[in-house]
Amino acid sequence: MKFLVIIFGIVVSTFMHGSGLSVDSKWWWDLLLSFNVKALSENLGIAVFCFWIHLPLMIIFSLACALIINRVGYPRYFIYSVLGTSFFTFVVLPLMPVFDVLLAGGMSPLRFIDIFVKTLMFLTLFFVFNILMKKYNRLNLLG
């Protein structure tokens, strides 16, 4: 079972950093613009933007992952596999000479902020949902 949890963590990390969890809705963009967040520094503005476009689907995704891992067990293996896959993909692979040529020069600051925000948001939401499920054991939706 530990092996399946580790494989699930690798799959989650791969899917999490793709473009499948972005919200492209005019209503959602207008809501962000109504908060008037224009006076932020460049990097903080990028972080708020990355956080905002991934927030709704990341909540659902991390809740689903927390439900599955809470049911199966071994949350530590899941978290380590998500972090290990992210670290290997975005830190170790770009440092290798072959992949540096294939990835065309490494990581831009925008991509680094996007990866950091997604990983931090997912792990924070996962921890919160996991703690809530342990505290309120009646929230067992899978059976």
Residue 125 has pLDDT above 90, yes or no: yes
Tell me the average pLDDT across 48-65: 88
Residue among 65, 45, 51, 61 nearest 116 (CA): 51
Segment 68-90 shows an average pLDDT of 90
Q: Which string of b and e fits 50-84 if b means at least 16 CB within 10 Å?
A: bbbbbeeebbebbbebbbebbebebbebbbebbee
pLDDT, averaged across the chain: 82
pTM: 0.79
CA distances from 39 to 26, 49, 83, 98, 116 (A): 22, 13, 33, 41, 22
The residue ranking higher by pLDDT, 35 or 77, is: 77
Of residues 44 and 62, the one with the higher pLDDT is 62
